[in-house]
Amino acid sequence: MSSQVRLRLLPSARCLFDEPIQVKVEGLRSRQVVTMRTRLTDEKGVVFSSSATYRADGSGEVDLKRDPSLGGTYIGVEPMGLLWSMRPDTMHKRFQKTRSLEPQVVKFSVHEEEGRRLAEETNERLLMANGFNRVLVKEGNISGVLFTPPDGPFPAVFDISTLRSELRASLLANKGFVVLTVTVPTDKAGKIQEMHLDMFEEAMDFLKQQPKVGGKGIGIISRSKGADIALSLAAFVPGVDAVAWVNGCNANVGTPLYYKKQQILSPLLFDLSKCIPNESGAVIAKHALDDPRAEKNKGSLIPIEQATSHFLFAAGEDDLNWDSKAYMDQMVERLKCHGKENFESVSYPGAGHLLEPPYGPFCSSCLHVESKGLSILWGGEPKIHAAAEVHLWNKIQKFFKTHLICDKPQTKPSYKFKKKKKKDDYKAGVKEK
């Protein structure tokens, strides 16, 4: 490595996972062309990497906030492009982060055109700041993880996840919420014949009883199958004040839904023969679900007009897993027909199904546990999808802070890391109502 070249990650090489950093290189020759690279290994041993070519300015500096990538895994001015454009070394893999106590280590490096490494730096992206607690919960029918900020009290958010991960829940706790995350039971072997809303109500009650929770109501955040469970909780179970629904359905998907030993919703079924294969070997499942508006499926539609909660509906218009934008539009129409105004909606042209907290590697396809061994194409153009994640993540936080009220004086959670006001990075195409 060159002793004159310095790679800097600002304001610190140690930050929260969803916080942006400024990447700068100093000490290059005037107008020198270099390649920037990143590399990480996730918990399953999958390696993700990215690269981009830059030309230094007259002072021998490269600043990713200012300078465009000339080629690589992305092009143009993309300050966080080296992170979201990382690709797996094996097809149909997604970045997995289930151990929130350990930071995700990302190696940044800068290389000459010939490949010689000039400088490197390690970025530790943490899921939890100092003072935050993570507790495994196994009580009754509950199996999940509870995240609690220091001080308090705080509003409570119930995170219903379909892909096992602690990323969203732990990062949301850092914003000033007590968060319980549970994973929807998967039906790998076809053994789950019915879903019971009672088990999710039990988790909600457990969350409400936590000593640092202020207020009687809770919020729910969910995506995909978890999103229709969230809608059902809002419609049938008291105490839900706010629901953030992301790329889900307006009907009960997959299995009959029971509450207090009675079936309340019939299932909206899949037809896997309607999946469309693409050249990568993954399939487009967007039209595999039956039409929830068909007469035979009306018993699966969730009566969201019964809910007293506020709704945030968010859909990626390039979702290739479900027709989420259409389902969102149907819910908006249904609520309007019932004279309801307790909702807001946002859609993202060019964004796919897996809308996550920002700055993780974009996932184009991966194995779906309930698709009988098929890899699913999730949709989304990486650059646009990454910008949508930034916009939606900020919007979700604002939504919960607006509609979840503490009945006790609040304190702000203590952070080790300097907070920076985020700009709204998603500009073109976002549609809000």
Q: Are residues 314 and 245 in the same domain?
A: yes
Amino acid at 109: S
Percent of the chain residues past pLDDT 90, beyond the cut? 84
Q: Cα–Cα distance between 27 and 59 in angstroms, integer?
A: 8
Q: Cα–Cα distance between 202 and 94 in angstroms, integer?
A: 31
Residue 56 lies in a domain: yes
For 285-342, strand residue ranges (E) read: 310-316
Q: Are residues 159 and 296 in the same domain?
A: yes
User: Judging by DSSP bridges, how do beta strands 178-183 and 240-246 pair with one another?
Assistant: unpaired
For residue 82, give Cα distances in angstroms to 94, 109, 230, 338, 405. 16, 11, 34, 46, 38
User: By residue range, what is the domain housing residue 335?
Assistant: 133-432
Q: Cα–Cα distance between 118 and 2 in angstroms, integer?
A: 5
How would you label 237-263 residue by residue, b for 16+ Cβ within 10 Å and e otherwise?
A: bebbbbbbbbbbbbbbbbbbbebeeee
- Are 398 and 135 a contacting pair, CB within 8 Å? no
Q: Are residues 193 and 110 in the same domain?
A: no
Q: Are residues 216 and 289 in the same domain?
A: yes
197-208 vs 225-236: helix crossing angle, rounded to 10: 70
Q: Cα–Cα distance between 379 and 375 in angstroms, integer?
A: 12
- Are 110 and 36 a contacting pair, CB within 8 Å? yes
Tokens read off for 196: 């019971």
- Are 215 and 406 a contacting pair, CB within 8 Å? yes
Residues in the chain: 433
Residue 364 lies in a domain: yes
User: Judging by DSSP bridges, how do beta strands 240-246 and 213-223 pair with one another?
Assistant: parallel
Q: Cα–Cα distance between 146 and 156 in angstroms, integer?
A: 11
Q: Are residues 46 and 87 in the same domain?
A: yes
Q: Are residues 87 and 169 in the same domain?
A: no
- Choice among 224, 300, 364, 375 that is catalytic: 224
Residue 379 lies in a domain: yes
Write down the pLDDT at residue 415.
55
In which residue are the tokens 């809303």 written? 197
Q: Are residues 104 and 163 in the same domain?
A: no
- Counting the structural domains of the chain, the total is 2
Is 353 assigned a catalytic role?
Answer: yes
- Alpha helix positions (H), 212-370: 225-236, 324-337
Residue 212: CB atoms within 10 A of its CB come to 15
- Going by the DSSP 8-state scheme, the letter that residue 174 receives in this structure is T
- Choice among 63, 290, 319, 323 that is catalytic: 319
Residue 411 lies in a domain: yes
Q: Which helix (H) or strand (E) holds 164?
A: none
Query: What is the strand order of the sheet 375-377 is part of?
Result: 276-277, 283-284, 375-377, 365-367
- Choice among 92, 111, 353, 391 that is catalytic: 353
Write down the pLDDT at residue 409.
62
pLDDT digits (tens, 9 = 90+) for 339-349: 999 999 999 99
Q: Let me know the angle formed at the C-alpha of 359 by 331 and 150, rounded to the nearest 5 degrees.
A: 85
Q: Are residues 228 and 258 in the same domain?
A: yes
Residue 21 lies in a domain: yes
Write down the pLDDT at residue 216.
82
429 φ/ψ angles, rounded to the nearest 5 degrees: 90, -15
Residue that terminates a domain, selected from 74, 94, 126: 126
Q: With 0.75 as the threshold, say if the pTM is over it.
A: yes
Q: Are residues 256 and 386 in the same domain?
A: yes
We report the CATH number of the domain holding residue 106 as 2.60.40.2240
Amino acid at 277: P
- DSSP string spanning 16-60? ETTS--EEEEESPPTT-EEEEEEEEE-TTS-EEEEEEEEE--TTS
- Going by the DSSP 8-state scheme, the letter that residue 308 receives in this structure is -
- Are 375 and 390 a contacting pair, CB within 8 Å? no
Q: Are residues 142 and 271 in the same domain?
A: yes
Q: Are residues 228 and 354 in the same domain?
A: yes
How would you label 265-282 residue by residue, b for 16+ Cβ within 10 Å and e otherwise?
A: bbbbebeeeebeeeeeeb
Write down the pLDDT at residue 369.
67
Sequential pLDDT tens for the chain (433 residues): 667 999 999 999 999 999 999 999 999 999 999 999 999 999 999 999 999 999 999 999 999 999 999 999 999 999 999 999 999 999 999 999 988 999 999 999 999 988 899 999 999 999 999 999 999 999 999 999 999 999 889 999 999 998 888 999 999 999 999 999 999 987 655 567 899 999 999 999 999 999 999 988 899 999 999 999 999 999 999 999 999 999 999 999 999 999 999 999 999 998 989 999 999 899 999 999 999 999 999 999 999 999 999 999 999 999 999 999 999 999 999 999 999 999 999 999 999 999 999 999 999 999 876 666 789 999 999 999 999 999 999 999 999 999 998 876 666 665 554 344 444 445 546 777 7
pLDDT digits (tens, 9 = 90+) for 396-408: 999 999 999 887 6
Q: Cα–Cα distance between 8 and 98 in angstroms, integer?
A: 28
Write down the pLDDT at residue 2.
62
pLDDT digits (tens, 9 = 90+) for 137-179: 999 999 999 999 998 899 999 999 988 889 999 999 999 999 9
Residue that terminates a domain, selected from 71, 96, 126: 126
Residue 276 lies in a domain: yes
Residue 1 lies in a domain: no
We report the CATH number of the domain holding residue 147 as 3.40.50.1820
Residue that terminates a domain, selected from 126, 153, 187: 126
Q: Are residues 116 and 177 in the same domain?
A: no
Is 224 assigned a catalytic role?
Answer: yes
